[in-house]
Amino acid sequence: AQSVTQLGSHVSVSEGALVLLRCNYSSSVPPYLFWYVQYPNQGLQLLLKYTSAATLVKGINGFEAEFKKSETSFHLTKPSAHMSDAAEYFCAVSGYSTLTFGKGTMLLVSP
């Protein structure tokens, strides 16, 4: 069984500030982990994925995430927020051909 916990339903940052979105997972098998982004009235876009290779994963739009097995975490970061990063972000853990999602974190970016 898998589960994902995203800490904070809303995160507010200023443009240019560090973005940190937190994700903790639970999995009975070595996990595959994902971050997706959803813009209003759109589907989910894959940002990055961890599939047991490098623990630091780089994704699109300058985002990266680090897999920490000891902390069962997969936090998403971006050094400098841009207004266009405002969206909802979902962390997910994969079972065989299914995804279990966290509740999502809405990222708000102010000028």
3-state secondary structure the chain: CEEEEEECCEEEEECCCCEEEEEEEEECCCCCEEEEEECCCCCEEEEEEECCCCCEEECHHHCEEEEECCCCEEEEEECCCCHHHCEEEEEEEEECCEEEECCCEEEEEEC
CB neighbours (10 Å) of residue 1?
Answer: 8
Least distance to another protein, CB of residue 90, Å: 7
Q: Which is nearer to another protein, 8 or 16 (CB)?
A: 8
Least distance to another protein, CB of residue 25, Å: 14
Q: Which is nearer to another protein, 62 or 95 (CB)?
A: 95
Least distance to another protein, CB of residue 111, Å: 27
Question: Which positions from 62 through 101 interact with another protein, judged by CB under 8 A?
Answer: 90, 94, 96-101
Question: Which positions from 45 through 64 interact with another protein, judged by CB under 8 A?
Answer: 45-46, 49, 51
Q: Which is nearer to another protein, 102 or 109 (CB)?
A: 102
Token pair of 92, please? 């997910």
Least distance to another protein, CB of residue 63, Å: 16
Cα 16 → chain centroid:
19
Q: Which residues bind another protein (CB under 8 A)?
A: 32, 34, 36, 41-46, 49, 51, 90, 94, 96-104
